[in-house]
Amino acid sequence: MHDLIRTILAFCVVLGVLVFIHELGHYLAARWRGVKVETFSIGFGPPLVRWTDKAGTEWRVGPIPLGGFVKPHGFEGPDEATDEQKAAWEPGRTFHDKPVLSRAIIILAGPVFNFVLAFVLFVLLFATCGQPVPRNEVAGVRTGSAAATAGLKVGDTILGLGDLSSSNVSAIQKQVASEPGQQTTIHIKRGAEDLTLPVTLDRVASSSGGAKPIGQLGIEFASTPGAAQSFPRAVVSGAKATWMTTVQTLDGLIQIITGQHTARDLGGPLRIAQMSGQVAQYGFASLLSFMALLSVNLGLINLFPVPILDGGRLVFYLVEAIRGRPVPKKIQELGFQAGFALLAGLFLFSTFNDLSSFGLFRWLSSLAG
């Protein structure tokens, strides 16, 4: 299959599944709490396909696969609804009339379903393909990391670090973690050549919450599939993998926010599309693992306390539950405007990062020169 076609198909499948599961969480929670759902859309723009089910929900598939939405009946409150909308309200089935707990459950269900999806994908992966076993081969080098500065490349085989002559991945990781900010050497095999490269390890905060910083190299190790696990063991491994992925994702975001890593590591839709195409060529197991990782990311991002996201709405509902009345409409509107500006800025910044990593601006500058 042509690389571009594979990338587009993989991107649509990956993002389509993640968005569908997220919105399905909102939909099922709304139905559970007695709220009618007017619209369930996957993709934006004029619908390519639409139909209405017996419950009165219009299902849509849009041409722009960058998200989706569920519109509960009466999602707009009395202060913002038009007379026409108010006339169409069905008593007892509107979102705004439900208790704050019911509204919070409906909003929270979307991110929760993303974590559930990640867990299910990990269980399926471990039960069919086994848990991946890391190899001492470099599969990825993070931009701006200690490894990138030292000159490590994808495909290098790590033979040891400093005085450590072991090629065991766990031993290498333990050695790196114990030497934050230290100058050392890394012994590698590149093709038929043995090399020793000087490296100064990064100094980062511990993801376990410890007071002492730990060392970091900034690489991803390649892995090979392990033996398929029994279903009970796969469930336990899936739960652990979901938790570790969540912790590592949060740790990476905290490091970017605190300046321990460059914000250029942030990727956007173009990077996701590129990676979707890359992992698809390695087979079904790689695609499952990538989808699980993205699902955790989507769930976490939506829980951030930014007003336009699910997490921001949950903050408003928490304040409402404490004070006994909703947050003033003006404050909500200002919050949504600020949240939209923040997300728009992040989208533009991540897209700029994507285009930079693809070499677009270097190519344009070469044309200008």
CA quadruple 158, 164, 169, 173: dihedral positive or negative? negative
Is residue 47 helix, strand or coil?
A: coil
Q: How far is CA 186 from CA 114, 146, 291, 329, in A?
A: 39, 11, 32, 58
As a whole number of angstroms, the distance between CA 254 and CA 207 comes to 9
- Residue 31 DSSP label: H
Q: How many of the other CB atoms lie within 10 Å of CB of 353?
A: 20
Instruction: Using the structure block, give the residue that is written with the tokens 């601006």.
Output: 361
As a whole number of angstroms, the distance between CA 118 and CA 195 comes to 39
Q: How many of the other CB atoms lie within 10 Å of CB of 351?
A: 15
H or E element that contains 84: helix 83-88
As a whole number of angstroms, the distance between CA 148 and CA 132 comes to 25
Q: How far is CA 82 from CA 77, 78, 327, in A?
A: 10, 8, 21
Kindly tell me the burial class for residue 6, based on how many C-beta atoms sit within 10 Å of its own C-beta (0-12, 13-18, 19 or more): middle
As a whole number of angstroms, the distance between CA 243 and CA 241 comes to 5
Is residue 172 helix, strand or coil?
A: helix
Phi first, then psi: give them for residue 69, nearest 5 degrees.
Answer: -160, 155
Residue in 23, 38, 137, 179 annotated catalytic: 23
Q: How far is CA 332 from CA 21, 68, 146, 316, 335, in A?
A: 27, 22, 43, 8, 5
H or E element that contains 189: strand 183-190
Q: How many residues does the chain have?
A: 369
User: Which DSSP string do the residues of 272-284 spell out, in sequence order?
Assistant: HHHHHHHHHTT-H
Active site residue 23: yes
Contact assessment for residue 302 and residue 110, using Cβ atoms and an 8 Å cutoff: yes
Catalytic residues: 23
